Structure 1
Amino acid sequence: MEGGEGYQHFHSITRSLYNPDYIYATQDIAGPWKSTDGGETWEKTIDNGLKVNMGVTITVDPANPDIVFTIGDNGWSADGESYQGLYRSEDSGNNWELVLQETTNFDWGKHRYDNHNIAYDPTTASENSPASEWYAAFYNNGLFRSEDSGDTWTKVADLSEHTYIYAIKAHPTDGETIYLVSDQGVFVSHANGADLQPLGTFDPEIDPFGITGMHAQSIVINPQNPNQIFVTVATYMESWYRPLGQSLYKSDDGGNSFTQITGDNIDGYAATRVYMNPNYPDVLYLTGDTAQGLRSSDGGATWNRMGTEEITPFPGNGRNIEDAAWRTRISGRLAGIVPNPENPDEAMAYANASFWKLSNYGAIINESSTGFTGIAWSWWNTGAAFDRSNPDRFAFFNCDVAMRITENNGDWFSAPWYGTNDRLFSRWYRDEGLTFGQGTFAGDIHPTNSDVIVASVGEYFRTRLMRTDDGGVNWSLIDADLPRDDDQVLHMHPFISFHPNKPDVVYAGNKISRDGGETFSIPDFGNNEYGEPHVYQPQIVGFCNANPDIVYAIDGTLQRIIRSDDAGVSWAMYAGKGVHDGNMQFKGVDSKPIFAVDAFDCDKIYSMISTTTTLDVVENDLAIYDGETWTNPGVIDLAGGAEVGNYVSAIVVDPTNEGVIYAGTMAVGYPCIFRSIDGGQTWEDITGNLPRKGMGAMAVNPHTGELFKGSSIGTWIYPAP
């Protein structure tokens, strides 16, 4: 789906000096994106071989815009630790190579800010020749240099004391001088990165000692007059990482001394980053901690606010200036700006979950996020719900931004609750100490009365159920009067579905409703192999479309699969521990179950067995059980990625086309989606143009047979077979 609703944040943005239509930005949980038309439209890079998800920083070559370097962290993949470091792409982000494996030391609580920790020496590049000398800096690690276009690297400086590194910058003309700004201040090397020394005195003086620390947060150098340097400097209380004072300083003597810039609009302004147009160095942009950005067209002599002539966000709930002013500010530590070196009055910016085009030196701000997608229904497969009576209507239950629904087959989506149930969906809402509104995660639409929807809301593994009977405008928490720690209230609820033939029956996690979702109760899930009730409460994970009375659940240890043939009234053990010898688990790295039921053969189930002591199955592969025997079709061999702990993470069965099954795999940097059209006997890789970001959740549209993939890069659709 086309997007414009990113809602994921970037850590770095870069623009090619001689090919400024090429812009790259790297994201907190999904890595690089790119624009090849100056920011008018955006697309996700394919990312073959980029084996880590967390984008830390990114820089594009000045002459060849297909060459781009990025530092990636394994923050979302514990098995990818040995693959963090510096990557290089030579084909605009389609394929990546790990050229420098180093510990990034990325800390989610410290390093979420715009940074520029990869730099090239401009004296080794020209308009027609790529840069040959590159630098890369890693938090609490070191500064590295390559003299052969990134093929090999040498550590030239120890940065073990530099916890926050904000930028490195090469001198524009001398080929030897490198600047670094960090929580230790401003540093310079006159030996290609070696022998870093503190640089500059500041007027007024900044005290880097005591309970506060001095953070130099950004640096720009005038290419036409390298003695002119601008830096933003702040003091921080380390325990809270809160700025106590932020200012813009300027040096006219090569950094030996810096003087604070004062004047109208900038006095008292909490400056975070400064940006310079490299070919028009009098054009400067300044972002602040919370206030709207500032702009100067006279080298910093005077400053004005951005957006004084026009601010135009995309249309939609919560995007207008009156209700969501924060969305339209070029502000915050995550904001970044790349001026257009061919046009002094134009720049592209990223801030507050959107891309923005700045024109007339920043006086005009227009959103430019077309193609940028990130709203994510990626928790489990029932994060997407299709109206059984209206093929144009479906809903997504998104992790961070609540439910969205379309009435026009995805042309656009609305938040019907907006302005009515904001408090329920607010991420800061507290109810008896439990935070709700981190997101919605699963839900379903009533089969005959589509105004009724049941969904989960809360915190990933701890959610509660809610219901609406007016199409999503007004919502009520179900069993709101029960204690928050009551099992009837809190649960993961990964699977939520109305019984398609008996709509009074609603399956939801560890609960079943017999009155259309108005109330729920926990069924008696029967006994385990010891003849005792299950110690950890089972949760329902699917039913057979051919006979929705046949419903399956997995116990709380994710070791036992149990089955009911009477819509959840009575239950019996079906597979797993107690049925087969030994121990096994039907899950990946977390406690989400991995499971699907065949839509036509109600005895046939699909899962992934991550650990087993006796079963003759391939761990981490798709596992198929026919009621007697487990088999593996070899999906994980097609995917690859054993070295990073890859596994089948999602399975979905087409409810209307017999024999069509999809399996998704978890690891990033590899093909991640596979299809069988013969009931699971043979499989093909259908990843195609889908970025290699792993599989979180997927669903088949029952009206069209199309496959929907929900992810942190938005919703992607694959045609029916």
Structure 2
Amino acid sequence: MNGLLIAVIAFEGPDAERVPLDTLIARANAYQEKVPVGATFRKEKKGGWQFIGPLPLTQEPWSDGTVSGRTSFVLNHPTDPDIVYIAAAGGGVWKSTDGGNTWEVLTDALPNLASGALAFEPGNPDVIYYGTGEMHYSGDSKNGDGLYRSEDGGQTWTKIASVSDVGSYISRVVVNPANTNIIMVARDNGIARSTDRGATWTMPLYISWVSDLAVAPDSPNMYFAGVNGMGVYVSRDTGATWTRLTGGLPDPSEPFYRIQLAISQSSPNIIYASFDNSGLYGLYKTTDRGSSWVKLENTPNYLYPQGWYDNCLIVNPTNPDIVYAGGVFPYASGYYGIVRTTDGGITWEDITDQSPNGRVHPDIHHFSFDAAGRLWVACDGGVWMSTDGGDTWINRNQGLGTIQFYTLAIHPRDTSVLQGGTQDNGSPRREGSDVWRVILSGDGGPQLFEIDAVPGLDTSFATYQGFGGPYRFVNGYYNRDTHGPWNGSDRASWASGAFFTHPAERSTIFAGTYRLWRSTNSGISWAAVSGDLTWGNGVLISGQVSPQNPDIIYVGASDGKLSVSTDGGNSWIARSPGVNQPIESIKINPNNPGEAYICTSSRVYHTSDTGKTWNLVKVFSFLVRAMTVDYDLWPPMIMVAGEGGIVLFSVDRGASWDTLGTGMCGAEIYDMDFDFQHQALFVATHGRGMWKLPDYQAKVAEKGRDLARLGLFWAPGAGILYCLPEGKHSLSLYDASGRLVARSEISGGKGSWRIPDLAPGVYVVRTGSWSAVFPVAK
């Protein structure tokens, strides 16, 4: 039941999140390279941060059950079929030495784990090139940090080219088999070329994004490139100059986009080229090395409806008539996943689902053959392999920790129980161990636990892309459909919409599209409590109800609008901080409804008057995706996280910042939250799963930072010690009978209250929500 709930629309995932090239370039231009050329990293990154899975996900319904995250590339050793490398879209490079039975991660220490392509140096497979930046054109296809090289099979890595040298998005790296000093990189806006093993770079083709690049297996001077929207280009001088091929191929004036190529290794005159226009514009074949081409009219439309995203080709290395093409998934009639021809393109069959002998997850990105002739597949669900050309499939995801989380929810009483929303792998749940099972399929969106959850009994909610749902679960098992009336009509976030609870009413929950919705009966019915709370084109992505005064509600939008209600949602006031950046996180002081911190994609702001005025706390030089605040400390501890696995903290209201913990990988962090009772911090990465930092306050103390926890404490000889937030407080002391013994008016901060001549007995001191019970001895 769980997995079938949204199966019919799972294929729409990336399509709705396709972004214009200008947007991808703007994102890349805002990126600041983290390390210079020449920086070196070892594969290990040890420290206090702990990876807690998934490794991999289980019970995923679209595949044969076990999945990891989206994978961009498979690189098979040229002579040893048991050695294989993969590049995870957001999780870096992994290596197996036993044919995919087990894996080890090689790149956690790098500052950017967005993956484009891998390549060996011909003749020396210990030399590996890693091109960062994923060229799949989706909203979460992240820009990279240049080109890296390992000389020792992935044990160490050195950055050899900057973003300005090789681009922000890389689809292929090709090292010339006759002269390994010549390196070619297919990149955004063209092809980069080095003739001195990466020391210097030129741009011999500066034209458009290049989705594919290959060298002729029998002629190292000859290269072919698939140039988006332009056509197939050829170089006959090792990439120094380029010419567009015609001879039956589409003209640049025609409406095609991405192009993928496949050259026959056994008959190099035979080349296949696929042209995309969301569906298949045409699959073309040449038998004379590109002089003339014919369109293979019988090819099924395997690219429909998102050939810009999942699009790949390969020719069997010993038989030029056997070709594999990868697209989406055979959801229904007219949809295809992996299709195969054995007669050079005359007839085709879909081989994605060979149940009970294996089923490959949707969205195919790359093919590769190993030295034993086995076919490998990279897709949104990780990696599969076939020993018989696709008649059966073997799942190779065990041990890959590459899930791309969007969101995180922590059980309010048992932090061993977590839920999250992931890219194309649904909403997984963790229950007390590193085993995660999918409870809802598709692209997982925001998740929620009701506030009265206790260990062993909880009500939670999961959503899918576009704020579809929600669905309600009890102890992680489907309970009922709680769809909101916004489904199919409202503008909503793809996977990070505002979804939050009422602090006192267990059955009251809120969901944000472009307006705010409220349910008072655990999702059975919903009512809109606002109009459009964006500037007109955005969606709601954050929100919170004040724990002390539930009439105060903050809601933040993707276009930078912040709205506040002081009457429980009956009316709304725009109280934006003045910068049109996404309001990623809102954290209200539980003891003071007027105080809150918010973070945008690069800034943290503070208010002490419910958003009437804002103080700019900090401007960061990296993309910030999440923030949380531990108001139980004084001053409050602010924590932010985002790009490059960066997690920073401040315990002086933003005057200074430091790294929190050690050993965090370089994957981008999308969400974070903490368990104050156990002092554990959790972060959800988009490519390396979920991580935990135990006892984060101790990590702060190790850096010499003074921490004080809010509260009242008895210290014999010193009196009543207090640590209280700013403002006026009235301390009241009672004896065991409830009689008021003493009272004192104090200001917030740290201090002591001495009460002379207390008689022996038991006393209670109170102020606001804080209290302490202590004995006085004779």
Provide TM-score, normalisation by structure 1: 0.63
Matching of residue 219 in structure 1 with residue 259 in structure 2: no
Matching of residue 118 in structure 1 with residue 173 in structure 2: yes
3-state SS, counterpart of residue 180 of structure 1: strand
Is the Cα contact below 8 Å between 1:276 and 1:283 reproduced in 2?
yes
Inter-CA distance 597–686: structure 2 relative to 1 (3 Å threshold):
closer
Matching of residue 605 in structure 1 with residue 636 in structure 2: yes
Aligned-residue offset at 1:170: 1.9
Q: What code does the residue aligned with 1:374 have?
A: I
The 5 A counterparts of 1:565-644 are: 577=615, 596-601=629-634, 604-607=635-638
Distance of 1:374 and 1:232 partners within structure 2:
31
3-state SS, counterpart of residue 542 of structure 2: coil
2:412 to 381, 387, 408: 387
Distance of 1:466 and 1:65 partners within structure 2:
57
Inter-CA distance 556–476: structure 2 relative to 1 (3 Å threshold):
farther
Provide TM-score, normalisation by structure 2: 0.59
Matching of residue 338 in structure 1 with residue 368 in structure 2: yes
Q: What code does the residue aligned with 1:411 have?
A: V
Aligned-residue offset at 1:48: 3.9
Matching of residue 360 in structure 1 with residue 388 in structure 2: yes
Matching of residue 245 in structure 1 with residue 269 in structure 2: no
Identity of aligned residues (%): 15
Distance of 1:307 and 1:522 partners within structure 2:
52
Aligned-residue offset at 1:563: 4.0
Corresponding residue number in structure 2 for 1:436: 492
Aligned-residue offset at 1:492: 4.9
Matching of residue 291 in structure 1 with residue 312 in structure 2: no
Aligned-residue offset at 1:308: 5.7
Inter-CA distance 552–57: structure 2 relative to 1 (3 Å threshold):
same
Distance of 2:146 and 2:343 partners within structure 1:
39
Is the Cα contact below 8 Å between 2:417 and 2:431 reproduced in 1?
yes
Is the Cα contact below 8 Å between 1:49 and 1:96 reproduced in 2?
no
The 5 A counterparts of 1:534-573 are: 541-543=587-589, 548=591, 552-554=595-597, 561-563=606-608
Corresponding residue number in structure 1 for 2:680: 706
Distance of 2:258 and 2:569 partners within structure 1:
54
3-state SS, counterpart of residue 102 of structure 1: helix
Matching of residue 692 in structure 1 with residue 735 in structure 2: no
The 5 A counterparts of 1:131-280 are: 131-147=180-196, 150-155=197-202, 158-161=204-207, 163-183=208-228, 184-199=230-245, 201=247, 205-208=248-251, 210-212=253-255, 216-222=259-265, 224-227=266-269, 229-234=270-275, 241-243=277-279, 245-251=281-287, 253-260=288-295, 266=299, 272-278=311-317
Is the Cα contact below 8 Å between 1:119 and 1:169 reproduced in 2?
yes
Aligned-residue offset at 1:349: 1.1
1:511-558: CA deviation from partner (whole Å, max 9, x where unpaired): 6799xxxx64579999x9xxxxxxxx99962335xxx45762258998
3-state SS, counterpart of residue 436 of structure 2: coil
Is the Cα contact below 8 Å between 2:134 and 2:171 reproduced in 1?
no
Inter-CA distance 258–210: structure 2 relative to 1 (3 Å threshold):
closer
The 5 A counterparts of 1:29-68 are: 32=93, 35-40=96-101, 45-50=106-111, 54-61=114-121, 63-65=124-126, 67-68=128-129
Inter-CA distance 391–299: structure 2 relative to 1 (3 Å threshold):
same
1:5-41: CA deviation from partner (whole Å, max 9, x where unpaired): 5786455443332344444444555655555543445
> How many residues of Structure 1 are paired with residues of Structure 2 in the alignment?
568
Is the Cα contact below 8 Å between 1:214 and 1:233 reproduced in 2?
no
CA RMSD of aligned residues (A): 5.3
Is the Cα contact below 8 Å between 1:246 and 1:269 reproduced in 2?
no
Q: Which stretches in structure 2 are left out of the alignment for 5+ residues?
A: 1-52, 58-66, 329-334, 441-459, 472-482, 556-562, 578-582, 699-778
**Structure possessing the higher relative contact order (Cα contacts under 8 Å, 6 or more residues apart):** 2
Aligned-residue offset at 1:337: 1.2
Aligned-residue offset at 1:85: 3.8
Distance of 2:508 and 2:158 partners within structure 1:
43
Inter-CA distance 429–144: structure 2 relative to 1 (3 Å threshold):
farther
3-state SS, counterpart of residue 67 of structure 1: strand
Inter-CA distance 496–280: structure 2 relative to 1 (3 Å threshold):
farther
Distance of 1:497 and 1:482 partners within structure 2:
15
Corresponding residue number in structure 2 for 1:484: 532
Q: What code does the residue aligned with 1:337 have?
A: F
The 5 A counterparts of 1:55-134 are: 55-61=115-121, 63-65=124-126, 67-72=128-133, 84-90=145-151, 92=154, 95-102=157-164, 116-123=171-178, 131-134=180-183
3-state SS, counterpart of residue 220 of structure 2: coil
3-state SS, counterpart of residue 439 of structure 1: coil
Is the Cα contact below 8 Å between 2:519 and 2:525 reproduced in 1?
yes
Q: What code does the residue aligned with 1:335 have?
A: H
2:509 to 441, 454, 457: 454
Q: Which stretches in structure 1 are left out of the alignment for 5+ residues?
A: 108-114, 125-130, 314-320, 322-326, 529-536, 565-570, 578-582, 608-649, 652-663
1:434-453: CA deviation from partner (whole Å, max 9, x where unpaired): 41252245656788987x47
Inter-CA distance 428–246: structure 2 relative to 1 (3 Å threshold):
farther
Inter-CA distance 589–455: structure 2 relative to 1 (3 Å threshold):
farther
Corresponding residue number in structure 1 for 2:435: 411
1:376 to 380, 394, 405: 405
Distance of 2:585 and 2:178 partners within structure 1:
62
Corresponding residue number in structure 1 for 2:478: none
Bigger fraction of residues in strand: 2
Matching of residue 347 in structure 1 with residue 375 in structure 2: yes
3-state SS, counterpart of residue 325 of structure 2: strand
1:419-469: CA deviation from partner (whole Å, max 9, x where unpaired): 99984359999679641252245656788987x4735444xxx56355575
Inter-CA distance 193–584: structure 2 relative to 1 (3 Å threshold):
same
Aligned-residue offset at 1:70: 0.5
Is the Cα contact below 8 Å between 2:671 and 2:685 reproduced in 1?
yes
3-state SS, counterpart of residue 38 of structure 1: coil
1:172-201: CA deviation from partner (whole Å, max 9, x where unpaired): 234322222324433333322223334573
Is the Cα contact below 8 Å between 1:39 and 1:348 reproduced in 2?
no
Inter-CA distance 198–406: structure 2 relative to 1 (3 Å threshold):
closer
Is the Cα contact below 8 Å between 1:387 and 1:447 reproduced in 2?
no
Is the Cα contact below 8 Å between 1:402 and 1:437 reproduced in 2?
no
1:124-175: CA deviation from partner (whole Å, max 9, x where unpaired): 5xxxxxx55422233434441334xx332443x63223x2423222232343
Matching of residue 306 in structure 1 with residue 354 in structure 2: no
Distance of 2:669 and 2:415 partners within structure 1:
25
